Structure 1
Amino acid sequence: MATSSIPLEALEKSMTLASVPAAHWLVIAPPVWCLLLGAILIMTRKRMDLQAWLAIPALAGLVLIDAGLLAAVIREGPITMVMGRWLPPFGIAFTVDPTGALFNLTAGIAALAGGIAALGDIDRTRRAYGFFPFLFLMVGGVSGAFLTGDIFNLYVWFEVLLISSFGLIILGSEREQLDGATKYAILNLIGTTLFLIAVGILYAVFGTLNMADIAARAPTLGASAPMMTLSLVFITAFLMKAAAFPVNSWLPASYHTPRIVVAGLFAGLLTKVGVYALIRVMVMLLPQEANAYSTLIGVIAALTMITGALGALAQADLRRMLGYMVITGIGIMLAGISFGAQTAISATLFYALHSMIVMLALYLMVGVAGRMGGSFSLHDLSGLYAKSPLLSAIALALFFSVSGLPPFSGFWPKAMLIKAAFDFGAWWQGAVILVSGLLTTIAATRAFALGWWRMPASGTVEPARMLASELIPLSALTLLSLGIGLYPEPLLALAQTAAAGLLEPTAYLHSVFPQGAPTP
């Protein structure tokens, strides 16, 4: 039998020779599960009757996998899985910490809710175009972005979710969809190109793409590398992905064009990947540069909040209004990133998780309102309260939540961010958060007054019923927001743990390099 000529000592330093614990396989399970199911759904594309029966249980299984991964991270701390048994920086690492696990589980919950809602919103023709395969590929890209420990693979997973989102946004090939997809594609491709340029500069500077390796080496470089330029390119790319001012015009110009469940998934997931990437790179990998750019990020955050809130107030189309509310939420998260302290970062993570759930629910709710009222325009909608008191209660709860009013999930992170702003002397940012919340509340109140309370000119309204595919995900997401608002302590504790791990990534680094990071 042939034997290896490589000494065992060398293999022990470059490869993991120990068996991988069973729980650690959960690190790569979410993207693998999504890509596998996407492939199966493509192979069964001619059996439209099987698509939903395969997709919905698979999405439920994904939530269970994500929950198991979060439980493992809470129990063991950050977990690393390396490809081909090659240890970093030679091997590509998947590393999951509380931040990645929380985002990943929330994305899985949103995907399951969206998949159930699609049973009523996506007709047979659009399923034939590949809705469910595209959905799984997009969620696989989102999961991969949240779990990867390699910055080039973060770029790759961005590409996976971007390509699949192109397919989702044009389902049906309507003229309005193609117009929205063009704007969506151009701005996102520019952002992706900037991201790739930043990755190239980073590799030239560090000679590695492993996040833990970069985090360990970054403080030692000082003025010997163009770190400020590198950081600025990263910030620009991620701000474009997140739809922050002044590169946010693509979002309200495109998110109203696809099917409502697609728009909801985009609002809940895709912009949050941009925020997550900004947090991961600037807070954990390049904290010194993030501190230097904190004022710039704070100004961008304020302008994003105000333009989003004013845009929402000016809209007569409910779908466009929600697009601007997404932008307002991005600004609130950027404000927390600009503060840089643990309380602010934990509030940002809390708010991002809340936004993933509530923005999807808002789009689904508006989809039901549009079906019942025959239009998304506030000029035409009326009498929805008489049509469906249940939908009205859900709408009111979600409007409260997105406005940051108690007792829903949006209240606590916004209150934490306002407190952090005043604690750190950034009173103007706290004031902007309050003003944007007030404008969002006015926009939501106006929409509810016109679409729900106002009676039609005829004075007669026929009652309408919600479909099971609408009621189940909407009720679940609304109750989840209410539950978090009434009992925020568990999620708050996890967010604080996650923020501490980002600001002091010793456990993350030890997970990747148990024997210590290699010498530069």
Structure 2
Amino acid sequence: MNPSGSIIESLLPLPVLLPLLGAGAALVLAGRPTVQRRVSVGVLSAVVAIAAFLVVGAADRPRVVTLGSWPAPLGITLVADQLSTIMLLTSMTVTLLVLLYAIGQGTSDDDSRTPVSIFHPTYLVLAAGVANAFLSGDLFNLYVGFEVLLMASYVLLTLGGTRARIRAGLTYVVVNVVSSLVFLAGIALVYAAVGTLNLAQIAMRMESVPAGTQLTIHLVLLTAFGIKAAVFPLSAWLPDSYPTAAAPVTAVFAGLLTKVGVYSIIRTQTLLFPDAPVADAVLMVAALATMVIGVLGAIAQDDVKRILSFTLVSHIGYMIFGVALATPAGIGAAIFYVVHHITVQATLFCVAGLIERIGGSTSTTRLAGLAAASPLLAVMYFVPAVNLGGIPPLSGFIGKLGLVEAGVQDGSVLAWLLVGGSVLTSLLTLYVMAKVWVLAFWRPVEQLPAEHPEDAEANTDPDDDRFPAFVGAGLPRGGAGAASPVYSGAFLGSPSTREEQSRHVALPRGMTAATAGLVAVGIGLTLVAGPLYTLTDRAAADLTARTPYISAVFGQAVDTRVTR
């Protein structure tokens, strides 16, 4: 039995409001880090519970609340349909677990000695921006959500203040400011064409706009969202930005930020432009290029973080593949794959942070014997790695199989090319994940090349991010981590340390527990794949019908069927 509509509507603003209130409280509590951490965890736990409640409440129909009691389309409208609630629950669950990972890192490194008060407030603001983007029923409010994300993510990306992080942060900001300007131009075009920014009302009025104007608006919005989603050729910024950040920041970025762009593409493609063959063809070509070029970039890397960054780009192509097919089967498989990828990619970046802690590096040329040193870490890498590679019966295989089936059903030349490209990308992803496993985990330490003097000198670089200055929830420069034996080169191939390398290494408990939780969530997606796939199929059916969304916003039946 579904909860009553009034209860659901009263809860709908809370995933945005609670993190903002929590951010203010965390800022006030800057001098009390223990209480600050409890506030952050409590707020995100409450948001996860509310998101789960909304998934159940929106199962029969979308739920709508217009802030300030202004009727649609005058007021700011928040809409919880199956797509937005699925995305909200997945993203907030991952956000909570990554926060626990960050707190575990801080506890392990005794960050009470060097507290940085800004991490927790900024992290909660980031969560509010994500929630606002998913629930927004207004194009300008979606823009506001993106801007909140941009401000918070820039602060998190540059925490620690190393030269590499500042440089990457500037690149990130410049690219996303350009994307925001393009988005703002698209908003202006939409308002000039239809006189409203309410998504439901835009959908009703867009059909009367001339085809050429529609295509122009469509391509402008796709460009803005394509940059944020890291769709090729608009993805070059990501592999240079994410690897420099601290592990918890990279994990939450990889799991969430690009998916907000993908969500926006799904929403506009299905609601505003349901019959756009030209744009669909452009998306198919972009999806194929994103998949193949991204995974080829991953093969060329020897750093775990950069490998994961390129695979992140590559697998965005799978999601765009499903959206470009513009069929319920394709969109349903794309939504399922988004849920899978948010979880698995965040897990792998958390694992990369643990690799860096016990190995002193994330370069596969400088790592070996990790499986012997930490069997638990090996398991936590292996499970999401093969899941990302698409090994059956894991959720990655199920999502890819759904996309392949949807492409075969489409039967067009581009669809068949995408089917072939997706299979090739899956095989190459498995290859690059196996390469990391063989070199970093399976290879004996004795097979490492001897360290050259210039390498040792490079290790003392104060801007070397192997010794992250993530004091917001973790490691201070020159702190406990930098002085530990493993951080001093226990896995760098020095003959004097090989006996030490054969011992098992204890992982930080908090970080390990959070990472194990993410691994468990990934396995759980496989266990509930049947019901989850049914839910995403239903979400796709409602998206392609459009009627449930528009009718819920305006409180009346509206016929918005599009004949393909």
* TM-score normalised according to structure 1 size: 0.93
Name which of structure 1's ranges 337-346 and 210-219 shifts more when overlaid on structure 2. 210-219
| 1:113 aligned partner, one-letter code | L
1:227 aligns with 2:214: yes
- Structure 1 position 382, deviation (Å): 0.6
Q: 1:153 aligns with which of 141, 146, 154?
A: 141
Name which of structure 1's ranges 496-505 and 53-62 shifts more when overlaid on structure 2. 53-62
In 2: Cα distance, 1:416 partner to 1:125 partner: 50
In 1: Cα distance, 2:533 partner to 2:112 partner: 42
1:28 aligns with 2:17: no
Q: Assess if the C-alpha contact under 8 Å between 2:232 and 2:287 holds in 1.
A: yes
Aligned counterpart, 2:65: 81
In 2: Cα distance, 1:129 partner to 1:85 partner: 36
- The runs of 5 or more residues in structure 1 that have no matched partner are 1-18
In 1: Cα distance, 2:267 partner to 2:49 partner: 25
Which has the bigger relative contact order, CA under 8 A and spacing at least 6? Answer: 2
1:447 aligns with 2:432: no
| 1:102 aligned partner, one-letter code | I
Q: Counterpart of 1:21 in 2: which secondary structure?
A: helix
Q: CA 1:482–1:20 in structure 2 vs 1: closer, same or farther (change >3 Å)?
A: closer
1:46 aligns with 2:31: yes
- Structure 1 position 486, deviation (Å): 3.5
CA shift digits 1:173-196 (9 cap, x unpaired):
111110110111111111111001
Aligned counterpart, 1:428: 417
Q: Counterpart of 2:445 in 1: which secondary structure?
A: coil
Aligned counterpart, 1:119: 103
Q: Counterpart of 1:94 in 2: which secondary structure?
A: strand
In 1: Cα distance, 2:143 partner to 2:325 partner: 26
In 1: Cα distance, 2:79 partner to 2:168 partner: 35
Q: 2:166 aligns with which of 178, 200, 210?
A: 178
Q: CA 1:47–1:450 in structure 2 vs 1: closer, same or farther (change >3 Å)?
A: same
1:467 aligns with 2:453: no
Q: Counterpart of 1:81 in 2: which secondary structure?
A: strand
The percentage of aligned residue pairs carrying the same residue is 34
Q: Assess if the C-alpha contact under 8 Å between 2:292 and 2:314 holds in 1.
A: yes
Aligned counterpart, 1:501: 542
1:139 aligns with 2:127: yes
Q: 1:193 aligns with which of 157, 181, 187?
A: 181
| 1:480 aligned partner, one-letter code | V
Q: 2:405 aligns with which of 396, 410, 419?
A: 419
In 2: Cα distance, 1:202 partner to 1:347 partner: 29
Q: Counterpart of 2:153 in 1: which secondary structure?
A: helix
CA shift digits 1:288-346 (9 cap, x unpaired):
23x32111111111111111101111111101111001101111111111111000000
In 2: Cα distance, 1:121 partner to 1:169 partner: 17
In 1: Cα distance, 2:556 partner to 2:380 partner: 52
Aligned counterpart, 1:249: 236
1:292 aligns with 2:333: no
CA shift digits 1:355-379 (9 cap, x unpaired):
1111110000111111111111101
Aligned counterpart, 2:453: none
Aligned counterpart, 1:204: 192
Q: 1:92 aligns with which of 65, 76, 82?
A: 76
1:456 aligns with 2:442: no
In 2: Cα distance, 1:137 partner to 1:336 partner: 31
Q: Assess if the C-alpha contact under 8 Å between 1:155 and 1:195 holds in 2.
A: yes
| 2:362 aligned partner, one-letter code | F
Q: Assess if the C-alpha contact under 8 Å between 1:129 and 1:171 holds in 2.
A: no
Q: Assess if the C-alpha contact under 8 Å between 2:31 and 2:117 holds in 1.
A: no
1:69 aligns with 2:54: yes
CA shift digits 1:361-404 (9 cap, x unpaired):
00001111111111111011110100111111121111111111
Q: Assess if the C-alpha contact under 8 Å between 1:294 and 1:339 holds in 2.
A: yes
- Structure 1 position 22, deviation (Å): 2.2
- The runs of 5 or more residues in structure 2 that have no matched partner are 447-494, 560-564
Aligned counterpart, 2:299: 313
CA shift digits 1:406-439 (9 cap, x unpaired):
2321111111111111221221110000111111
| 2:432 aligned partner, one-letter code | A
| 1:416 aligned partner, one-letter code | G
Q: Assess if the C-alpha contact under 8 Å between 1:70 and 1:102 holds in 2.
A: yes
- Structure 1 position 20, deviation (Å): 7.9
Q: Assess if the C-alpha contact under 8 Å between 1:408 and 1:483 holds in 2.
A: no
In 2: Cα distance, 1:283 partner to 1:77 partner: 17
Name which of structure 1's ranges 124-133 and 93-102 shifts more when overlaid on structure 2. 124-133
Name which of structure 1's ranges 455-464 and 181-190 shifts more when overlaid on structure 2. 455-464
- Structure 1 position 287, deviation (Å): 1.3
Q: Counterpart of 1:275 in 2: which secondary structure?
A: helix
- Structure 1 position 245, deviation (Å): 0.7
| 2:504 aligned partner, one-letter code | P
1:488 aligns with 2:475: no
Runs of 4+ residues over 6 Å off in structure 1: none
Name which of structure 1's ranges 50-59 and 444-453 shifts more when overlaid on structure 2. 50-59
Aligned counterpart, 1:8: none
Q: 2:394 aligns with which of 408, 431, 435?
A: 408
Q: 1:261 aligns with which of 248, 257, 267?
A: 248
Q: Assess if the C-alpha contact under 8 Å between 1:30 and 1:62 holds in 2.
A: yes
Q: Assess if the C-alpha contact under 8 Å between 2:290 and 2:317 holds in 1.
A: yes
CA shift digits 1:425-483 (9 cap, x unpaired):
22111000011111111100000000000111255422112222122222222122222
Q: Assess if the C-alpha contact under 8 Å between 1:294 and 1:338 holds in 2.
A: yes
Aligned counterpart, 1:9: none
- Structure 1 position 516, deviation (Å): 5.5
In 1: Cα distance, 2:155 partner to 2:113 partner: 14
In 1: Cα distance, 2:547 partner to 2:401 partner: 29
RMSD: 1.7
Aligned counterpart, 1:345: 331
| 1:29 aligned partner, one-letter code | L
In 2: Cα distance, 1:51 partner to 1:407 partner: 41
| 1:172 aligned partner, one-letter code | G
| 1:64 aligned partner, one-letter code | A
| 1:452 aligned partner, one-letter code | F
In 2: Cα distance, 1:240 partner to 1:504 partner: 28
| 1:408 aligned partner, one-letter code | L
